[in-house]
Amino acid sequence: MTIIIRGDIVFTPRPDRFTVLEDGCVAVGDDGRVTQVAGSPSDIRLRGTRASGDRIVPTDDAAPRSTVDSGEPEPRVIDRRGCLVIPSFVDLHVHAPQYPMAGVGLDEQLLRWLENTTFPVESHFADPQVAGTWYRRFLHRIWRVGTLRFSAFATLHEESTLMLMGLCQESGLRPVVGKVNMDRNAPEELLESTRDSLESTRRIIGKSRAATPDIGYVVTPRFVPSTTPELMEGLGEIVREFGLPVQSHLDENRSEVEWVRRLHPDVPTYAQVYDRFGLMPEGRTIMAHCIWMTQTERRLLRERGVWAAHCPQSNLNLASGLMPVRRDLDAGIKVCVASDVAAGHDPSMPRQIVSAIETSKAKTFETGHENDRPLALSEAFYMATKRPGEFFGAIGRGRVGTFEPGCDFDALVIREEDGNPLDLPPEGKLARFIYDGDDRDILERWIAGRTVPEPFA
């Protein structure tokens, strides 16, 4: 049976403007996919009915009924008038075990912050008790803020990675997750042998397919400095063998880029190191940061169809630099906005959208408004919904992030403020939510046509 969600519908089929249906409708089929978006319930066509006689007339309480007997059951109208209905957020770069350290140690830059704060936290995830407590808190928070799909780094620990995947399955959220691989340049308690790393990865892939079918696996070398060529080679084989996606870090910090250069003097650029080892599979790779890319790397990312996860809050916190987002977009790179929790301290994608806009404005102070036109709100929203949502479509887990027909209905229902003197249109109300709302304004969360109840409350 079709359901029809009625409210103020706002989404971004394209980045340059919002598509708005004030008191509009989204129709969703049995399979949880959007079938149609329309101005009113009466404009929704029922499957299998005649084109001329398939209108639905809403009754006073907004429950529509067919005017002809088409043999179809009547659709159920979910009346959310006075609310915004928007695509839920998609975050393609987040470190689940770093959630307990959000805000800590940010007077330092990347490499010292990894050593002094990140590695000590992640080593605690060897303990299943810590992992259980904090992965539950993380998932509860990410549900609260309306990020219903994401791509997460776990730690290198097999048991706690499987636990995270199990908790994701239990929560109803639909992320991809990867065990971190690292066999060099980390403290002893966070190192594994190349062989252990590869075997453990294969075990997790095997076990999780059966145990957590709704949670995808994503191959996750931490970054070039912490993975030997042998490990990258082996991971490249796993990627090919299972057709899996890859996530990692690229060109975040200038000292890091220099380090990679020293580690791989025979490879011209950082990105080409991943590519050489088969870790940039076409149309299913996420690379975080991408601040210091060369033109060669830009070309490579475009050719491979890589999602470049722009993490503006993280980049400021660790003083990594300002990604030249406008130039990367103009170069045809699939830039999306991501949180990078916990170098980004706030899991809320609205806060990351704002940070992306703000840093794009800061970029113009260096280079001029004409060269690096700042992101408009609709663009940054697109980069946190439809653009990263395509990743899930590409790996066969449902295209999300927009209400175009065929997409999974992943959505948030958001309370609208009353009595604003500006009498704002829906996109203005959305701007108010993005800039100054919070999780208390989100009334419902939908994944693939079903509401997701609060997990681990």
Return residues touching a copy of itself (CB under 8 A).
100-104, 106-107, 117, 120-121, 124, 130, 133-134, 313, 316-317, 319, 321-322, 345-346, 354, 357-359, 361-362, 364-366, 369, 374, 376-377, 419-422, 424, 428, 431-436, 438
In the bound complex, what is the minimum distance in angstroms from residue 176's beta carbon to a copy of itself? 24
> Does 342 sit behind a cis peptide bond, omega within 30 degrees of 0 on the bond before it?
yes
Cα 85 to Cα 358: distance, rounded to the nearest angstrom: 25
Cα 377 to Cα 457: distance, rounded to the nearest angstrom: 32
Comparison of 191 and 376: residue with beta carbon closer to a copy of itself: 376
Comparison of 155 and 227: residue with beta carbon closer to a copy of itself: 155
In the bound complex, what is the minimum distance in angstroms from residue 128's beta carbon to a copy of itself? 13
Phi/psi of residue 349, each to 5°?
A: -65, -35
Cα 232 to Cα 156: distance, rounded to the nearest angstrom: 15
In the bound complex, what is the minimum distance in angstroms from residue 431's beta carbon to a copy of itself? 5
Cα 84 to Cα 23: distance, rounded to the nearest angstrom: 9
In the bound complex, what is the minimum distance in angstroms from residue 305's beta carbon to a copy of itself? 29
Comparison of 38 and 380: residue with beta carbon closer to a copy of itself: 380
In the bound complex, what is the minimum distance in angstroms from residue 278's beta carbon to a copy of itself? 34
Count of CA atoms in the C-beta half-sphere (13 A) of 82: 5
In the bound complex, what is the minimum distance in angstroms from residue 416's beta carbon to a copy of itself? 13
DSSP strand pairing (246-250 vs 285-289): parallel
Helical spans, DSSP H, in 312-412:
312-317, 325-330, 349-367, 377-382, 386-394
Sequence-distant (6+) residues with CB within 8 A of 55 are: 42, 43, 67
Q: What is the token pair recorded at 3?
A: 């359901």
Comparison of 276 and 361: residue with beta carbon closer to a copy of itself: 361
Comparison of 283 and 321: residue with beta carbon closer to a copy of itself: 321
In the bound complex, what is the minimum distance in angstroms from residue 399's beta carbon to a copy of itself? 28
Comparison of 368 and 396: residue with beta carbon closer to a copy of itself: 368
Q: Are 181 and 235 in contact (CB under 8 A)?
A: yes
Comparison of 145 and 447: residue with beta carbon closer to a copy of itself: 145
Helical spans, DSSP H, in 101-174:
110-113, 119-123, 128-144, 158-171
